[in-house]
Each structure stands twice: as structure tokens, then as C-alpha cells.
Structure 1
Amino acid sequence: MGKNLIFIIIHVNHHVFFLLFVINVNMFIKVSSFPSSMLFEFVISGITLCVLGIASWTDIKTREVPDWVDYGLLFAAFGIRTIFSFSEGWNILISGIIGFIICFGVACFLYYTHQWGGGDSKLLMGIGAVIGITYPFNSTSFTLVWFFIALLFIGAVYGLIWMFGIALQNWHIFSTKFVQKTQKQKFLQYILLGISLIFCSVLFFVPIVWFIIFFPLGIFYTFIFVTVIEENLFVKKISVKDVTEGDWLAKDVFIDEKKVQLRKTLEKSDVEKLHGFYDKGKIKSITIKIGIPFIPSFLFAYLVVVFGHSIFTLVGSFILF
């Protein structure tokens, strides 16, 4: 008897989006010969990669991720887990719930500390439901941890590459500000250069650690590089009427020397308040941070987790046993 996986996601916001996803298991080549657990991984991974691809594209193009994409991944993850729980047992659904709860906590922390926007946070919740935390615990229970580690590492590398591209596009502004910034820190540079020379003497005894020579000055110039980009090339002045929920306010807003809005990720109530000031003619423009489209890092990190699954499982088995 064939199995059908059906997901209908409806989102209403100016437009109505219908996402109908139907999978007939019997359409696969001799699906019955595949273990149900393997089919589960195939289906949920395929859908997740498609969603992350769409989310990455919209984030790069518009710096926003539609809610229907975020919620679509979340509902699809729980829907797939629910359907497969009838053949695989309820643990497969419980695993998704545990992963969702953990990512929900992390997402709330990052959102309310104004480190991430709403789109990134909601997508992380969906990823938590997709990857889950295997229960009872075994070597695959650490997969979500590996995803976080991959996300941090890939996000850092991806961010630096993106910033380097921005610096090249605005070379005159960047080079001028970079020189000005480094000249203000000459004394610190001399100290770090001295530390690097001390490390050089260590090479006579431990040649294998030659790379530490570059650490002091490398970290210093990387910090200056990132600071210059953020302060000069990741800010934009826009009209208050164009402000939307999720915009990252770069500077506090003052009216008659009174602070009326703190710099942070703007929520709906903040936007309404600013629009009210604009309608009264009290403020015309504000400065927001543009930032980096971070969602592609989710896609790359998930690819690493999917195709490096066997390696992560092996490491997890050593941790447990």
C-alpha cells in the first residue's frame, strides 16, 4: 500500500501563497526495498535544501526572508516527522520537538539581544525541527551541535569574504578609513609586532608552530578591517517612511535632544512610533545597518552536516562511548 506525504502551507499577506507538496512513495524505484529511516532522511533533507536555497536567494536579493518560507520549513519538518512516526515510532517526532525547543531558546536569545533578525531566528527554529536531537541519545544526537559549529565557522569565513568584496567595490572609502584607523593605533601595533618577534624566537625550538607568528597582527588588522566596514560601508540613511520591521537601527534617534528610540532591531511597535514622528514632521530620516545576507551560511552549514554525516556520527560515538 502506497504512502502519500502531503503538505499544504497557506500564507496570507497581501498575496495568498499555496504550497502543495505531494510525494507518493511508490513512485520511487522499488521504494519498499529502502529502509523507512533512509527514506525519511532523503525526503526531509531534500525539502530542507530546497527551502534553504529559496531563503538564501531572497536574502541576497532583498535582505529579507518571507515568513511563509520560515514557517513552511517548520511545518514541513513536523509534518514529515509525524507521518514517519507511524512506521518509525514516536521517538522520531520527539527528536524534532527537542531540537525545535533548543533552537527556539537560542533563536530567542539571539533575537532579543539584537544579534539576529526575525528571519534568521525563525529559520533556525525550523532547522532545529529538521535535524532534531535523536532520542534515546546515540552517536547521531550531536548532529545539531555539529551544525552550530559549522554555522559559526562557515559564517565567519563567509562574512569575511563578503566584506572583502564590499571593500573592493568601495576601495577609495575603505582604504582611506583603514589607514586613518590604523594610524590611531600605532603604539598597539608596535606592541603586537614585538610579540610576533618573540614568537619568532620560539620557532628555533618548536618549528611546527610557525603560524602563530601571524596571530597578533593578523587578529589586530582583521578587527580593524571589520570595524571599518561596519562603521562606513554597512550603514545607510533612509527615509522614515521606508522603515520596516526588522531593520537594524544604527544610531539612537533624538528629537529636541531627547532620545526617543534606542538603536536595535526594530519591531512593529518601533516602526509605528517612528512613522508617527514622521507624520508629525519631527524626523525625516534615520540611519540603519545593512548587514550581510547570512542565510547562505545556513545552506552551506547544512550541506556540511548532510554530506559529512558519517564523520560527525563517528565523532559522536567516541564522545558517548
Structure 2
Amino acid sequence: MEQVLIFADYILIAITFIYLIIASVTDIKRREVPNWLSFSFIILGLAVRAIACILIKPLTISNYSYLLYGLAGFLVFVGLGIAFYYGRIFSGGDAKLLMGIGAAIANMSSLKIISSYIFLDKFFIFQFVLNLLLVGLVYTLIFAFILTILKWSRIKNEVKNLFLKRKFAIIIISSLSLVLAVTFFILRINFIGPIFLVLMILPWIYVIIKPVQENGMIYEISVKDITEGEWLAEEIKIKEKIIKYKWDGINEKELKLIKENFDEGRKIKIKKGVPFIPVFLIAFILTFIFGNLFLELVNLLL
């Protein structure tokens, strides 16, 4: 029984790794994750768990727990995916891929063998979510700062105006946070000091990132190249209908309307989001190596 589950875990690990690589490449290239990729990931993850249960003898209800864990992980990540989607954190493609991850790595009995973290097999899925949030924050900041450098000539006036508008709040928050950070370091309460250092720089990050989001990620593409799910950066009026920006992007009906009424060479402004699927891959790998990154950071500070 244990050998079957260990073998199934290795298969699921390989499947997850391969799917995350493919999804990362498509997200970077096209800023989308195809539905067939996410749905096949979900089906394959649950299928491997079902086959593993069938191979376990005797066939009892307890032996089907491996499949039930997969279904539970899928349902939990359905809830997370919906929450992140309507919270405007994930796109639809990101949310669907997250559901596949839930089905695949809900629990993994073999991880206690391939990892030095004794609780990694039981809590891998939860540690992955925590790491996903932490890595996602760092990744988004790095992406935004690189984009800021590349688009500085376009957004520098917006950055200046936003700073002047919020300068009193920025100076007060930053100064107070610096004083508190220094105080905690002097008192040798090292795990709280970095929190206030982060709070000190957050207002400055906001001043830079907001103009990047509003102006630095806008591109012009031809009508012939526009695809379903694109985010419009400006309203498009076609006869009596106005097509506006929506979180889920242009739908099939709107895309058809645009292509039927505009020349192929006409330029349309769209907004590109941050390709977030690589964060899934990075968090997946780091969870194997370090376990809970939050705990590792706390241990370094203590």
C-alpha cells in the first residue's frame, strides 16, 4: 500500500512540475493560461489518485482517503481561487491552475522521505499557499521596479505628482516606522524590527507602483492580434455599444464585434498584467527546499 502511494506521489510531483513549467511559458508569452491546460491538470491529478486507490488492496473505504484528499484539496483551492479572482488578485487562468495544484498535492505521504522537514508531508499544501503569497509579493515588486526603470520616461511625471499629493502621509508613515524599527532593534526584539522597516518603504513602493500599473503596462496592438481575455486600456465604441475594461477581459462576443467593425491594422490600447504563473512554479520548488519560508525568515531573525 505504502509503495503504491509513494509511487503515485512521485508521479503527481512530476505532473505538477511539468504543468507549471508549460503554464509559466504560456503566461510569459501570451499572458494567459489555456483552459485545456488547467482542466486537464485537474482531471489528471484526480485520475492518478483514483488509480492509486484502485491498486491498493483490499478495497476499503479507508483506502480511498488518498482520492478524498485530492477532492478536498481541489474544493479548498476552488474556494481560494474564487476568492483571489473576485479579490482581483488572480485572473481566471491563475485561479483554475490553482485548483489543479490543490487536486495534485493535497497530501503527499512520500514527502517525509524526500524532504528533511518532518511535517512537510502533512502540511505541504498549506506551506505552499503561504510561500505563494510571500514569493508573489517579492516577485511583483521586482517586476514592477524593472518595469519602472524601462518605462521611467513615461511615468516619471505621474510619480512626481503622486508623491506631491501624498507627501505628508508618506513622510509621517516612513519617519514613524523608522523610529519604531530602530527602537525594536535597540531593544533586541529583532523579529519585529523588520516589520517596521517594511512599513517604512511601503509608501514609496506605492508611489512608484501605482503609476506603473496605470500607465507603464499599456501597449498598442493591432486588431488582428487581439485575443479573447485581453484587458482594454480605453473604451471602444462600436455603433451603440461601448466595450469597457473588465477584470475577465474581452469576451468572445465582444472580440467578434471588434474584428468585424475595425480594420485589421487599427491599433487598440490594451493593458498587460504581471505574468503570475511563474510564482506558482517558484513557490512549488522553494517549498520542497525550505518548507515554510515564513518560519525560515523568523528563525534567521531570532
- TM-score, length-normalised on structure 2? 0.76
Rounded to whole Å, the distance in 2 between the matches of 1:215 and 1:115 is 21
Change in CA separation of 1:255 and 1:231 when aligned onto 2, cut-off 3 Å:
same
Tell me, yes or no, if structure 1 residue 106 matches structure 2 residue 80: yes
1:49 Cα deviation (Å)?
Answer: 0.8
Tell me, yes or no, if structure 1 residue 295 matches structure 2 residue 277: yes
Q: Equivalent residue of 1:184, what SS?
A: helix
Question: Could you tell me which residue of structure 1 aligns to residue 137 of structure 2?
Answer: 156
Letter in 1 for 2:230: D
Rounded to whole Å, the distance in 2 between the matches of 1:52 and 1:279 is 36
| Aligned 8 A contact 2:178 2:197 in 1 | no
1:276 Cα deviation (Å)?
Answer: 2.1
Worse overlay, 68-77 or 273-282: 273-282
Please show how residues 48-63 of structure 1 align to structure 2 within 5 Å.
Answer: 48-63=16-31
| Aligned 8 A contact 2:148 2:208 in 1 | no
Change in CA separation of 1:188 and 1:254 when aligned onto 2, cut-off 3 Å:
farther
Which one of the candidate residues 202, 205, 210 is aligned to 1:222? 205
- TM-score, length-normalised on structure 1? 0.72
Tell me, yes or no, if structure 1 residue 260 matches structure 2 residue 234: no
1:117 Cα deviation (Å)?
Answer: 2.3
Rounded to whole Å, the distance in 2 between the matches of 1:266 and 1:75 is 24
Aligned length: 274
Worse overlay, 223-232 or 259-268: 259-268
Q: Equivalent residue of 2:275, what SS?
A: coil
Rounded to whole Å, the distance in 1 between the matches of 2:77 and 2:276 is 17
Question: Could you tell me which residue of structure 1 aligns to residue 125 of structure 2?
Answer: 144
Question: Could you tell me which residue of structure 2 aligns to residue 26 of structure 1?
Answer: none
Q: Equivalent residue of 2:270, what SS?
A: strand
1:301 Cα deviation (Å)?
Answer: 1.3
1:58 Cα deviation (Å)?
Answer: 1.9
Higher relative contact order, chain-length normalized (CA < 8 Å, sep 6+): 2
- Cα deviation, 1:55-78, whole Å, max 9, x if unaligned, reads 112221222223332233222211
Rounded to whole Å, the distance in 2 between the matches of 1:132 and 1:81 is 10
Higher strand share: 1
Which one of the candidate residues 158, 164, 173 is aligned to 1:183? 164
Question: Could you tell me which residue of structure 2 aligns to residue 116 of structure 1?
Answer: 90
Question: Could you tell me which residue of structure 2 aligns to residue 66 of structure 1?
Answer: 34
| Aligned 8 A contact 1:59 1:293 in 2 | yes
Change in CA separation of 1:185 and 1:102 when aligned onto 2, cut-off 3 Å:
same
Gaps of 5+ in 1: 1-31, 316-321
| Aligned 8 A contact 1:163 1:226 in 2 | yes
Rounded to whole Å, the distance in 1 between the matches of 2:80 and 2:182 is 44
Which one of the candidate residues 93, 96, 99 is aligned to 1:125? 99
Q: Equivalent residue of 2:219, what SS?
A: strand
Rounded to whole Å, the distance in 1 between the matches of 2:70 and 2:185 is 53
Q: Equivalent residue of 2:242, what SS?
A: strand
Question: Could you tell me which residue of structure 1 aligns to residue 60 of structure 2?
Answer: none
| Aligned 8 A contact 2:231 2:249 in 1 | no
Which one of the candidate residues 234, 254, 265 is aligned to 1:273? 254
Gaps of 5+ in 2: 57-62, 110-118, 297-302
Percent identical residues: 31
| Aligned 8 A contact 1:52 1:295 in 2 | yes
| Aligned 8 A contact 1:95 1:134 in 2 | no
Greater Cα radius of gyration, structure 1 or 2 = 1
Letter in 2 for 1:243: I
Which one of the candidate residues 125, 142, 150 is aligned to 1:169? 150
RMSD of equivalent CA atoms: 3.4
- Cα deviation, 1:181-232, whole Å, max 9, x if unaligned, reads 3233222233235424643773596244554663443010111121121112
Change in CA separation of 1:78 and 1:194 when aligned onto 2, cut-off 3 Å:
closer
